[in-house]
Amino acid sequence: MKSIAIIYGSSTEHTKNAAEKIAARLTDYNPSLSDIYNGDEEPFLSNEVLILGVSTWGVQDLQDDWNDFFPKLEKLDLSGKTVALFGMGDASIYPSSFVDAMGILYEIVSRKGATIIGQVSPDGYDFEYSRALVDGRFVGLPLDDDTEPELTDERIAAWVEILKPHL
Ligand SMILES: Cc1cc2nc3c(=O)[nH]c(=O)nc-3n(C[C@H](O)[C@H](O)[C@H](O)COP(=O)(O)O)c2cc1C
């Protein structure tokens, strides 16, 4: 069993709530749970698996707390780390940039050498464009607590099962 850190950035607690739900489904694995707002690099260094959550607030940008952490992230060597991503967005009001920040985070952690797990089919999502869509698959789990909150729990449950063989 590998050591797991769940790390999220969240402005209005939607991503935070999702992170807590993911943690609750992984209690057997004893993951740590932390808010990137704290600026703490330690969970990145001391865990083999990183489950990273980010919400999208506009095109091109990471969520504010991830943005503040960016200089530290840039200095981390993530080679040998396994990374799973989840992204909170709103496909109804922002269909042309749905969960873009998850795509931005993917680009950074891939460049830093991480192995990405937990890609998700876009089937069942109604959007026009997403930077998080790579080779026809989402790079992680998109969630939309604004438009379809009733789907969040089942999406998380299915996704966690995809992750488990890697943990
Ligand atoms: C000003 C503003 C801009 C947003 N831009 C996007 C966007 O480009 N793409 C998207 O998918 N969601 C966008 N959203 C929706 C948020 O990502 C969504 O409300 C999310 O649940 C917030 O999560 P958080 O509370 O964890 O920060 C935006 C919301 C606001 C208020």
**Measured from the CB, is residue 15 less than 6 Å from ligand 1?**
yes
Report helix, strand or coil for 32: strand
pTM over 0.85: yes
Which atom of ligand 1 is nearest to 10's Cα? 26
Cα dihedral 23, 29, 30, 35 in deg (nearest 10): -40
CA angle 124, 58, 130 (to 5 degrees): 30
Tell me the pLDDT tens digit for each residue of 106-162: 999 999 999 999 999 999 999 999 999 999 999 999 999 999 999 999 999 999 999
| CA pair distance 164, 167, nearest whole angstrom | 5
- Give the separation between CA 94 and CA 58, rounded to whole angstroms: 9
- Structure confidence by residue, pLDDT tens digits, 33-53: 999 999 999 999 999 999 999
Domains observed in the chain: 4-166 (3.40.50.360)
- How far apart CA 77 and CA 45 sit, in angstroms, is 9
